[in-house]
Chain A
Amino acid sequence: MNLNTRYLGLELKNPLVPAASPLSTNIDGLCRLEDAGAAAVTLFSVFEEQIEHEIEQMAHYLDYGSDSYGEATSYFPEPTDYHRGPEDYLELIRIAKQRLSIPVIASLNGSSKGGWAKYAKEIAAAGADALELNVNWIETDPTSTGAEVEARYTDVVQLVANAVAIPVTVKVGPYFSALANLARRFSQVGAKGLVLFNRFYQPDFDLESRTVSPNLTLSNPAEMRLPLHWIAILYGRVDLNLALSTGVHSAADVIKAMMAGARVATCASALLANGPGHLLTMLREIEAWMVVHEYESIQQMQGSMSYQKVPNPSAYERANYMKELQSFRPDPVLLR
């Protein structure tokens, strides 16, 4: 039984790559993931914006109220050993590289052009095997066009891909009018992979305080359909290694991802709900399924149900959409 897969030029022992989650924020969590069978790990995303914000905030608080009153010319000890910027993150990469035998994929979420390139270089220098660019802009300016927004994405990818020698993969959301074309352009400017998709965390309203409040929920298996669909469409048609993210909860989900054309399936919610040991469970179930269905390798099934390979590609197009709608029947219980 061969579960090997190749992703971003990395030879992986299986297609399970835990995505960024609280488990990937420290070395203990990363070790637990490796022990449970992860083929590689994606570290949590380092947010340039957050780093800058924290630095600014700390500067503000250190100054606030200082040199205003004779008895208290300051309110805090001046920190000497500042873990400012991405140092902790880089340290985690270094430790992970020492302690783990599986590849380590770093993740970066930038806000400024300079920040993307600078942090990417530092991450590469710290020893990451690959870099995932977590690009997630919500364009709210009505005067910005789709083309402008897409250009901003490709600019960043190009900037980073040119700045570092390690493979770069891009994680984006699904809301583009021409995703397939954008994916192709990512590949043209140097990306080696595409992660589908970034979850767009829609904030909620708090009716009591009448404020907009962040609301993070774990994914559910139904959310896997969207990336599955797109991987099937893109497989073989863009020169990118595809990774399926969001909604992977079971061995069946992983197998579906592979058949659509993904090189790896990433999961977080399932591991948070069931613990890292769930990876091992999924791996055993994948193997069992492959035995029953007489598959020899993962690579054998990769892309087997993609747009290019299914007998009726229109299932992935509008006709499929119509069919889905027509087949929908409301739950009678809900109607009551």
Chain B
Amino acid sequence: MSRWITIDGNEAAARVAYKVSEVIAIYPITPSSNMGESCDEWSAKKMQNLWGQVPTVQEMQSEGGAAGAVHGALQAGSLCTTFTASQGLLLMIPNMFKIAGELTPTVFHISARTVATHALSIFGDHSDVMATRTTGWGMVFGGSPQEVQDMALIAHAATLKARIPFLNCFDGFRTSHEVQKIEAIEDDQIRAMIDEDLVRAHRERALSPDHPVLRGSAQNPDVFFQARETVNPYYDRAADLVQETMDRFAEVVGRRYGLFDYVGDPKAERVVVLMGSGAEAAEEAVEALVAKGEKVGLVKVRLYRPFDVARFVASLPDTVKAIAVLDRTKEPGAIGEPLYQDVVTALSERPHPLRPLVIGGRYGLSSKEFTPAMVKAVLDELTRTEPKNHFTVGIVDDVGHTSLGYDPEFQTEDPQGFSGVFWGLGADGTVGANKNSIKIIGEGTDFYAQGYFVYDSKKSGSVTVSHLRFGPNPIRSTYLVQKASFVAVHQFGLMFRYPVLDQAAPGGTVLINSPYGPNVVWNHLPRHVQEAIVERDLKLYVIDGYAVAQATGMGVRINTIMQTAYFALSGILPKEEAIDKIRTAIEKTYGRRGPKVVAQNFAAVDQALAHLFEVHVPGVVNSHVGLRDPVPGTAPAFVKDVIGEMIAGRGDLLPVSALPVDGTFPTATTQYEKRGISLEIPVWEPDICSQCGKCILACPHGVIRAKIVPKEAVANAPEGFKMAPAKFRGAEDAMYVLKISVEDCTGCALCTDVCPEFDKSETSRRAANMVPFHELPDIERERWEYFLTLPDEPSLPEPPIYDNAKALQLLRPLFEFSGACAGCGETPYLKILSQLYGDHLMVANATGCSSIYGGNLPTTPWAQDSEGRGPAWSNSLFEDNAEFGLGMRLALDAQRSQALRLLEKSSGVVGSDVAEPLLAPEKDDPIARKERRTKVEELKKRLAGRQEPDLVALAQVADALVDKSVWIIGGDGWAYDIGYGGLDHVLASGRRVRCLVLDTEVYSNTGGQMSKATPRGAVAKFAAGGKPGPKKDLGRMAMTYGNVYVAEIAMGADDNQTIKAIREAEAHDGPSLIIAYSHCIAHAIDMRQGFLQQKRAVETGYWPLYRYNPARAVKGRNPMQLDSKAPSAPLTEYIEREGRYQMLRQTDPESAARLTVEAQQDVDRKWAAYAKLAAKEV
């Protein structure tokens, strides 16, 4: 009997891969990371593979490393696998050529993802797998979690037969992250599919000193070519072997697949050809059209490589007159996309009797929605006498006019099914509850189930939209819910930002988590919601989820409450049965977390039912409140027309012409995206404040700012605008104003924690205190606007030296309002950089958290000063960031030397009053820089219109006469692991590049996987048992060069040391490296105490603060300066407050105890070594 499980595509692939592998080499990359994580967790649990062995799971330093390790393990005779996507797959290509060239069986599981071009995208298309076409790997495609699981087994079985390695491809996110109820493949079925003789044959081919051979020789023109042709017979029979394997699979498992599966009218005249998840939506469309009598069909490509021409042509109906081939990738400059070209070639090599017309088109790039309506549009196009070739579908292309129009009203969702859309926040547990609901229905009833989750591009205050479908028939709708019988709005405020009821089907049900009761809620609803409810005759229910959560000890987690209300209202299950199942699920999900957590959830279930009310809909639309404008009306046109549309969730509707051709976007755009996400906001108390600036320095989101202004400048300040006499030397007559942008605050409360000042009579009150947002007057927004109008230049007798927190607070940050996690430990460092060097800063940013909160559309926090100057930012890749930054430096240096050379040569022509000061050495000082810029402007004026080649050339590079600061920024995953080789090389280059490592000690952006920066004893993904080895001492390694400036900083422990180190790094005439302690949600700490934790890290000696300055050595002094004191507390004082360590105490206390002792030894050793270095006489 079948066993049904509800899992996502990643898990579906991983569970088969795990069972048939002995060595698994992994490296995190979205959206495939979860496959490696699952394997690591199973391995930690000692789950066995088919042969009773626990597979070895090894994290590598990059995908290139993972492929290399797999290659080696295969050569040594093991069964191996790995998981990756996108850039990761590209890094595997060199080894893929080798593995295929050596006819080695293996399967890589690929959650296919867009390859970065004009922009990075984490979402799904086939550009990555298509980039591997020349490697000689087989490729199978699955379109749903069920198919992913089945293809995984077919691929693993077929590779052993064919001796050709395979990629098991499926669509990133759409399939990798879609949760579906599927029929599980059991161990005995896997066993029946894997031929032990072939496994033995693989082992016998392995390298062994017992029967030594050489493999991987270097060959010359005499034989390479012939040798390369030896593999042909293997490729010739591979497709047959895959079909044979599929037939065997049908016998063993019961599901039948072909290399090309045809569905539709057997006499179809129009056929679409495609692969992946899009084929599921296409099947829905074709079925609906055939039911209406249309002669249409669909060929689903299962085996793309090797491409079986005969079987493909045979899969087409004899009647086909026109074929549309859909590719989920783009190959600019090619005749057409790959599948199209293959189909054309196939029909050319083996002509179909009717010689059908073939057109090709693109769809679904970067997970663009692909719906049955679009499939219909493509099939309709085939009815035209001259259908458009090389078309696109799903977008509006008003530039190349490639796009096909489609009718969104053509919908094919199963009328017998239930579908729901749930709007929530990441923090409220909506997605988790929905995943739970899918399990409840999927595994507890005969219904099929599907869930897909749309996440925000922000990490704080992120919005989630869950799309759920249940029903008696298999679900092939690989697109978002279009007509929902149930819409839940888990956050009242979302109704004012998004058209939350757009998908609500007539007669459907709406559930709102509302602070307003059933009798009054109507008058609080925005107009578009009222209209939808009245016009579509929707039933409306409310529940005060937060009140119930508070009352039942659930805090802000409303997940169980809203889930209960959903089951009570949706009618999918009888209410009593549903509640029973929720309870069972609660015990299963939370049982391991203790009886109290279970009891709280049970109470939440009971109370949810008691507080769920139907609203009598008055039938009168009386609201005058509409959707909030995404950006203010005063925003620049591009921000309003393009970025604003993305913010509003209407980016899909933007035409091609709206977007830049080369991925260039304006900076300083977060200022327009007022999200208002925080429930609590700090309020400043001028009377208590000492104006030290620590809160401003600490604020990760740049929402607290201060200025010193002349009294007269604030004479007309709005009423209630807080200020105090400035406590700065020489500015006694000026006013100090500190302002908080309440709509940009995330409520992290770090500012209140770092505030050193107390109310003398009430020590719990500080100069900054959190108060509920709703208690603040609306005028706060206007006060912020007023604050912005005040002069940035501090009203001080002399410009301050910005080498301390007190002075630095007066510099305007050019990094503001990022969407990083509330309380992020990385962003304060970037803010300092932007304050000190923002107007001449170029940033090379490694992929990771900082590239996401820094550069994920719609907006960027990198900002501009009043003159329009600011950081110029770019992200190349994850692995090459140091090299990328060095390239910038090399270019700038070349331009500068060219400019100086030409200026010197032409000084007589341009005038010595301009040339001389510009030829003089440049001072790193804001005022000097300003003067220099004026001179450059004057120079450019004098050069304007000159035709002499030297002067023309000088004009082009004149801006280089003002030095630019290049900072190379990234996380520890980049610096310690994937980018280490490049970083090392760049540090060895001697060039003036500054590298800032935001060290969170894990791969934070992909979900907390271990890196070589992870400390001993900490639990991380891929280190479920606590990291057994010590953290790599990157700083010490860099010091060995002797000419590299190195510093370790932790601003929570010593902000002035942080500022000093950054300034010294910038001033250093050579490469510099700063390693910045960055607390992170992946440390499982109370984020409000992030800076306090930094302090503890330093006090316990875990994170010594130091500066290694080669410039000192030149003067005969010891370059090494220890800036923190000898450890004054045991390491436990620090690690006891971090969940990443505590987790191990709860899961494996013995290891935790041992690792704690060893970690303390690490600290002692490191401190002793550093103390010795610092004490050394030079």
Contact = CB atoms under 8 A, between A and B. Distances in A.
Nearest to A68: B426
A52 B1146 CA distance: 12
A6 B135 CA distance: 82
B1139 interface: yes
A237 to B, nearest CB: 42
Contacts of A26: 1153
Interface in A51-102: 51-52, 54-59, 61-85, 88
B590 interface: yes
A88 B1153 CA distance: 13
B267 interface: no
A75 B122 contact: no
Contacts of A52: 594, 596
B1006 A56 contact: no
Interface string B1076-1097: 0000011010000000000000
B599 to A, nearest CB: 10
B429 interface: yes
B1139 A57 contact: yes
A55 B1081 contact: no
B1142 A54 contact: yes
B456 to A, nearest CB: 7
Interface in B1059-1113: 1081-1082, 1084
A74 B41 CA distance: 13
Contacts of A70: 30-31, 122, 173, 177, 455
Contacts of B906: none
Nearest to A208: B756
A77 B1149 contact: no
A79 B1146 contact: yes
Given A72-B1005, A79-B1147, A88-B1149, A67 B453 contact: yes
Nearest to B42: A80
Contact of B1081 (A51, A64, A78, A82): A64
Contacts of A210: 758, 763
A84 B426 contact: no
A74 B1147 CA distance: 18
A83 B594 contact: no
A210 B757 CA distance: 10
Contacts of B1148: 81, 83
B44 interface: yes
Contact of A69 (B37, B40, B426, B1153): B426
Interface string B814-845: 00000001000000000000000000000000
Contacts of B1005: 71-72
Contacts of B821: 65
B426 A82 contact: no
Chain B interface size range? 35 or more
A67 B30 contact: no
A52 B597 CA distance: 9
A199 to B, nearest CB: 22
A74 B1143 CA distance: 15
B262 to A, nearest CB: 34
Contacts of B456: 68-69
Interface stretch (B318-326, B987-995, B1016-1024): B1016-1024
B432 A63 contact: yes
A177 B837 CA distance: 68
Interface string A259-274: 0000000000000000
A75 B594 contact: no
Interface in B458-510: 459, 462, 464
Interface string B592-607: 1110110000000000
Nearest to B557: A63
Contacts of A55: 593-594, 596-597
Interface in B989-1048: 1004-1008, 1019-1021, 1024
A71 B462 CA distance: 13
A78 to B, nearest CB: 7
Given A59-B597, A75-B1007, A68 B590 contact: no
A265 to B, nearest CB: 30
B594 A56 contact: yes
Interface string B156-197: 000000000000000001000100000000000000000000
Interface in B1128-1178: 1139-1140, 1142-1143, 1145-1149, 1153
Contacts of A75: 1004, 1007-1008, 1021, 1081-1082, 1084
Contacts of A81: 45, 1147-1148
Nearest to A78: B41
5 contacts: A59-B593, A72-B1008, A76-B1084, A79-B1024, A83-B1149
Given A55-B593, A65-B1081, 16 more contacts: A52-B596, A54-B1146, A55-B596, A62-B1084, A67-B431, A68-B456, A69-B459, A69-B462, A71-B122, A72-B1004, A74-B1008, A81-B1147, A82-B592, A84-B593, A84-B594, A211-B763
